[in-house]
Amino acid sequence: DIYKRFIKKDVSDREMIKTGRIASGVILVIGAIWAPMVLKFGHIFSYFQECWAFVAIPVAVIFVGGLLWKKVNSTTAYVTLLLSFPMFAIPYLLRILKIQMNVFNIAGLFLIGFIIVFIIITLLSRSSQPEEVSTMIWKPSMMKLPGGLGAINRIWYHNLFFWGSIMVALYMLIYIVFW
């Protein structure tokens, strides 16, 4: 739809298919040229782990910021998301510059930077209308279960707090065992 929406509005289906095939071929060639870069990471899992550690940061900032702050708008999300594309180059730059710091520590520093940029963009842009976002912003009242679901006399395995506690305990156990 990019071709039809932005390049040629009155395009036939046949031409759209042809354009799609050409674009797919170009992407495959770029992927083939890029493949040797993955070798610099030892194996493909290291490559994915390091690349996505940086690319996930803007997405996480947008998600959490959008949940917790009423002033965030689509402009803030869009600009922050655009900043995720250059993040693909960070793992390569770290290798070229021979920086021997843990990738996740560097990603944490980038997280702080993205939070600061996110706040600045939010403060400089027009906020959304309160009625548009009121149902999307998290409030403490959302912790309460509706109706009789939160009743005290419920069976233990229907208790949300019980299962939440089990999940947190399991995460802590996994963290302790595999750290």
Instruction: Answer yes or no: pTM beyond 0.75.
Output: no
Helices (runs of H) and strands (runs of E) counted in the chain: 8, 0
Burial label, 85 (beta-carbon count in 10 A; 0-12, 13-18, 19+)? exposed
- Residue 135: the pLDDT is 66
- Residue 112: the pLDDT is 94
The parts of the chain modelled with pLDDT lower than 70 are 1, 128-137, 142-154
- Residue 144: the pLDDT is 67
- Residue 134: the pLDDT is 66
Q: How far is CA 53 from CA 92, 103, 113, 119, in A?
A: 13, 8, 14, 21
Cβ of 76: how many Cβ atoms within 10 Å? 27
